[in-house]
Amino acid sequence: MLWHGGQGVRLSTDRGSAYAISQRGVIVGTLSSGPFATSPLNGFVAYADNSQAGATPLDRLVVNLGKFHVLAGLGITNDGRILCLVNGDAATRQLAELVPAAAGP
């Protein structure tokens, strides 16, 4: 839920947590379609000014993701770099930095 313009704005129908927000108002975190203990996690990005409605999965924004899946956006810099938790298979998780192709979100 995002508080914007004096009202609550739902970012997603999924449950989740926001972990960081940049000075530009870019929010990153994780979403789950069910209970966190059993459901797949999906990293997301959203905008505090609600210029782009809702949460967008980070997987959709990465061109060369390959076999990896973004589980969570953990932090974001003011120039748009995102620290993420990713996995390549069910047993391997690692940190990765997503770097925007443009000047940043």
The string of pLDDT tens digits covering residues 2-58 is 777 787 777 777 788 889 999 988 999 999 876 655 668 899 998 888 677 788 889
Can you tell me the distance from the alpha carbon of 93 to that of 101, in angstroms, rounded to the nearest whole number? 24
pTM of this prediction exceeds 0.95: no
User: 56-87 pLDDT, tens per residue?
Assistant: 889 888 877 788 889 999 999 988 899 999 99
Say if CB 71 and CB 87 are below 8 A apart: yes
Can you tell me the distance from the alpha carbon of 63 to that of 45, in angstroms, rounded to the nearest whole number? 15
CB atoms within 10 A of CB 67: 9
Residue type, 99: V
